[in-house]
Amino acid sequence: MESERQLKYGGQLCRETETRYYIASFLESAESFAQHIRGYWGVENKVQHVRDVTQGEDASHIRMHQLPQIFAVLVTSRSTSIAPMRSPT
């Protein structure tokens, strides 16, 4: 499957194409399989985007000692705090 994404580098829009390979143990058409994969990444990207926009996770520099483990606990509590924001009012 080919994956294409657009990124901004220094104000310029760049297009990046990547080939990804998947293996499955079930019989399904290529189109149906691609829809499942896209659906998974759509959910994943939606969750990560919300975390990054609301809590700035991508900008974090927590990479040493015990901080990653402590941050993992905080992320879990942050995810719980995001849920009420998503529910319709």
Within 1-89, residue ranges assigned H as helices are 30-55, 67-86
d(CA 13, CA 24): 34
DSSP conformation class of 59 = G
Which residues make Cβ contacts (< 8 Å) with residue 58, sequence separation at least 6?
A: 52
The series of mean pLDDT values per 10 residues for the chain, 89 residues long, is 81 88 83 83 74 69 66 68 64
d(CA 30, CA 33): 5
Per-residue pLDDT at 50: 75
Show me where the domains of the chain are located: 2-84
d(CA 42, CA 1): 15
Per-residue pLDDT at 81: 64
Per-residue pLDDT at 79: 65
Per-residue pLDDT at 87: 64
User: CA angle, corner 85, sides to 5 and 67, nearest 5?
Assistant: 70
Per-residue pLDDT at 36: 82
Per-residue pLDDT at 39: 82
Per-residue pLDDT at 88: 64
